Amino acid sequence: MNVVDEMIYAVPELNRNFTHYQELSGGLCNQTFKVYTKQRTYVLRLNSRQNEYLNLTRHSEVEVMRKACRKGIAPEVIFADDPQRFVVTNYIDGRMLEKSDLNNNAIKNMIMDRLKIIHSMEGVDRTCTPYDLIFGYLKGADLLGVKYPSGLLQILDRIEKIAHMRSNDKTYNNKFCHNDSFLCNMILTGEQLQIIDWELSGIGDIFFELTLIPFSNQFSEAEEREWLALYFGFFEGETFRIFQEMKFVAMVREVAWGLFYSGLTKDDPDRNFDYYKFAESCIQRIEEGIYHL
């Protein structure tokens, strides 16, 4: 019996009338499987080890997922007795958002509505700032023996300056954030938009959250201005300046993530993505003043 079969047979909802499962594509961190029973379909997620290095417990992630589900923006948690290893949720019958969806004003408004719901979430004892992510990933990379690429230390000096500057914002900093709100983690089903993959969520910076879709979809300056106005209801130069700084932070997060995973997966014979090369390419873009993927 392989590990997936073992987990399926440990969960009554999956074991009962189980028929088959298939691996879902798209994840670079965790493994996910679509599990079919005669009555319903579920998602089984095998968790990676990254949260061990980020000081984010899987138990608090499950608490967040359940809270988000009650707000109608995330799938139901079905089984989480051993969240360090795996979690089972209800399967959402829909599709991931794509770049072309950003041409649809109704979908953009739905995205902003969901982000505002997330940013208003309270009562969760879980902190995860963009700087926690960057330095947590880098600490993990150090422990895994990963060598820093040239130019990274100078970049980190700027990160520390931005972190100090943002610490003075009492309005948009220290708010709950998803922190991984890319289009691939947004599932459209009918008139509803659901958010998945809450493992990096925590008290953080709204401006960092707002950069993730624009910087990963190469927004023009005009599109960035429209994006900010859509969230805040207005546009001003100061918010645009902060947004540009946080795009830089988002790029550095990608560097740190790539270095960490290059070490975490170095002995994986099935690895088909060059994380270290990805990190180097992000540093090159940063040095060229390009703050998008």
Helices and strands in the chain: count of H runs, count of E runs: 11, 10
- What is the residue type of 151? G
The answer to whether 131 and 174 are in contact (CB under 8 A) is no
Task: Give pLDDT, residue 30.
Answer: 81
CB burial of 5-38 (b: ≥16 within 10 Å; e: otherwise) equals eebbeebebbeeebeebeeeeeeebeebbebbbe
Q: How far is residue 26 CA from its own chain's centroid? A: 13
Q: What is the pLDDT of residue 124?
A: 82
Q: What is the pLDDT of residue 187?
A: 97
Q: How far apart are the first and last CA of the chain?
A: 41
* pLDDT of 252: 98
From residue 210, alpha-carbon distances to 118, 184, 201 in Å are 12, 15, 14
What pLDDT is recorded for position 293? 87
Tokens standing for residue 245: 């700084």
Residue 28 confidence (pLDDT): 64
Q: Which residue stretches of the chain have pLDDT < 70?
A: 1, 26-28
Domains, the chain: 3-91 (3.30.200.20), 96-287 (3.90.1200.10)
- Please tell me the distance from the alpha carbon of residue 50 to that of residue 48, in angstroms, as a whole number: 6
Give me the pLDDT at residue 41, please.
Answer: 96
Would you say 278 and 285 are in contact if contact means Cβ atoms under 8 Å apart? no
3-state secondary structure of 126: coil
Q: What is the pTM of this model?
A: 0.93
What's the pLDDT score for residue 26?
66
